[in-house]
Chain A
């Protein structure tokens, strides 16, 4: 497994995708920062706090850019073996199909967490530059925890995306699926059903934004069921499919 993970990392050498994803991950902090500049130009006396900036950024990351960006990264990692016709080499080494999936998932998790940390760090940096208020160890720790929980839960929800990528062996269906997920997030953002839709439930859990109608248990179950179903479908499909 260590060798597989090491080779997965080697495959990213000179790959532009990592840089592109970093640019993508910068979008949310920059959007929040632009919002701050706009607010300051209209209401100069209104205070801007770190807690609010972290909260808004995490909202954008989890409901919008993260769902889409992590979907694209998932498609890139899992589809490239088909796109570059390297899968048949790996499987005739032989590498076990399940090990291959697991190593790519570990890399995906690391990648998501690096981008999560980058987004968090960028907010902190921009906040320090322009002087957001309310910086404290508690705010930093709490926001970091929320970012990490959100990133980890979005990772768990990558299994249906992996399945779609392997099933269609193409980036397009995965991107459409991710776009539909984002649309669902947006549609449910202000409804109580956000606690039930797995991808919006991630934000509900990470930010403790539970709704009275549906206790936390429902959100956890929605995410766990989706993740497990995606994983089972992925493993059953990929271990049986003929490689053409």
Chain B
């Protein structure tokens, strides 16, 4: 599969401090890539480097298979972006703000502005200047501006930052719709795990400037599946009984008589009685909690994420 974004040894140093450290990122065609990290982890610095706003200290950036350094103009023409909060000329209306972009991008399509305003639901705000917009409206307008020229790649840095739950839901719906309808590759950053989880199909975790992991959510969920755990006196007998009498084959046996069953949630009491009635001692029953968050906390070596 073709990598839309590929960074090699990407590093940004401020004095002796590394804001981004040897980052090797790969975003493939059609992905919604969630870029997850705590505040200050290096997400925005990375994104600004991808957009040519910040010069890397070391390393290379390739977008659409071309070097950003050599083909910045062409690459940015095919890219749309929101970097943190969307800035607008507050004395102008939404249409006038977008007209600046159509003019500078050389977009001649008659209804280009109306089309994107309709997509983000701002088509009726004709007279209000952007200075009177709420944060949510500005972020929606930011998305409208980012997709005005039909980009193949969208880079969105914390697009839901500061929004209320309804605004967050609206932006999420918009991003998903863009990915599905326009087949745009999307890189979206956030410090909120649940946000990324609901939006992205792939994830890159950055911590202290280092990319710790790149993985698909499918693989992640496979690794972090929900389970019922029993600690029994005889794991061989227990697994044999599970297969024979319950038809359960999706389980794992761990040290110390721990058996993890990946189905039959809510039936732990019945399973417990079943084991006891067949002469097995059950010393512990546990259902796994939301392990995804634990997983990331473990990956970043403690602290909190999301």
Q: Is A129 an interface residue (CB 8 A)?
A: no
Chain A residue numbers with a CB within 8 Å of B145 are 89
Most buried by A among B51, B54, B104: B104
Are A244 and B54 in contact, with the CB atoms below 8 A? yes
Q: A4-B104, A10-B92, A13-B96 are in contact. Are A89 and B87 (CB under 8 A)?
A: yes
Cα distance A244–B73 when bound, in Å?
20
Cα distance A88–B77 when bound, in Å?
14
Q: Is B295 an interface residue (CB 8 A)?
A: no
Are B83 and A88 in contact, with the CB atoms below 8 A? yes
Among A92-100, A162-170, A213-221, the stretch that binds chain B is A92-100
Are A242 and B53 in contact, with the CB atoms below 8 A? yes
Query: Interface extent on B, as a size class?
Result: 20 to 34
What's the least CB distance linking B126 to chain A, in Å? 15
Cα distance A106–B53 when bound, in Å?
24
What's the least CB distance linking B235 to chain A, in Å? 57
Are B79 and A6 in contact, with the CB atoms below 8 A? no
Q: A92-B53, A243-B53 are in contact. Are A7 and B90 (CB under 8 A)?
A: no
Residues of A in contact, count (CB < 8 Å): 26
Q: Is A136 an interface residue (CB 8 A)?
A: no
Are A93 and B105 in contact, with the CB atoms below 8 A? yes
For residues 1 through 56 of chain A, which have their beta carbon under 8 Å from a beta carbon of chain B? 3-4, 6-7, 10-11, 13-15
Count A-B contacts at CB 8 Å.
76
From the candidates A3, A95, A244, name the one contacting B48 in the complex (CB within 8 A).
A244
Q: Is B284 an interface residue (CB 8 A)?
A: no
Are B72 and A94 in contact, with the CB atoms below 8 A? yes
> When each residue 60-90 of chain A gets 1 if its CB lies under 8 Å from chain B and 0 otherwise, what string results?
0000000000000000000010001111111
Q: Is A91 an interface residue (CB 8 A)?
A: yes
Are B92 and A7 in contact, with the CB atoms below 8 A? no
From the candidates A6, A84, A93, name the one contacting B89 in the complex (CB within 8 A).
A84
Chain B residue numbers with a CB within 8 Å of A88 are 48, 51, 53, 83, 87
Are A91 and B53 in contact, with the CB atoms below 8 A? yes
What's the least CB distance linking A1 to chain B, in Å? 11
Cα distance A37–B167 when bound, in Å?
62
Q: Is B88 an interface residue (CB 8 A)?
A: yes
Are A92 and B81 in contact, with the CB atoms below 8 A? yes
Q: Is B100 an interface residue (CB 8 A)?
A: yes
From the candidates A3, A13, A242, name the one contacting B104 in the complex (CB within 8 A).
A3
Are A243 and B104 in contact, with the CB atoms below 8 A? no
Are A84 and B88 in contact, with the CB atoms below 8 A? yes
Q: Is B192 an interface residue (CB 8 A)?
A: no
Are B104 and A90 in contact, with the CB atoms below 8 A? yes
Are B53 and A11 in contact, with the CB atoms below 8 A? no
Cα distance A93–B90 when bound, in Å?
19
- Quick one: closest A residue to B101, CB to CB? A93
Are B55 and A14 in contact, with the CB atoms below 8 A? no
Are A242 and B101 in contact, with the CB atoms below 8 A? no
What's the least CB distance linking B107 to chain A, in Å? 11
For residues 79 through 109 of chain B, which have their beta carbon under 8 Å from a beta carbon of chain A? 79, 81, 83, 85-92, 96, 99-101, 103-106
Chain A residue numbers with a CB within 8 Å of B106 are 3
Chain B residue numbers with a CB within 8 Å of A80 are 89
- Quick one: closest A residue to B85, CB to CB? A85
Cα distance A244–B12 when bound, in Å?
13
Are B91 and A91 in contact, with the CB atoms below 8 A? no
What's the least CB distance linking B103 to chain A, in Å? 5
Q: Is B178 an interface residue (CB 8 A)?
A: no
Are B103 and A6 in contact, with the CB atoms below 8 A? yes
Are A242 and B88 in contact, with the CB atoms below 8 A? no
Q: Is B161 an interface residue (CB 8 A)?
A: no
Are B91 and A14 in contact, with the CB atoms below 8 A? yes
- Quick one: closest B residue to A243, CB to CB? B53
Q: Name 6 A/B residue pairs within 8 A (Cβ), A-sorted.
A: A84-B89, A86-B87, A92-B51, A92-B81, A93-B76, A240-B55
Q: Beyond A10-B92, A10-B100, A87-B87, list 11 extra A-B contacts (CB 8 Å).
A: A7-B100, A7-B103, A84-B90, A85-B85, A88-B83, A89-B86, A89-B87, A92-B51, A92-B83, A240-B55, A242-B48
A residues whose Cβ falls under 8 Å from a Cβ of B: 3-4, 6-7, 10-11, 13-15, 80, 84-95, 240, 242-244
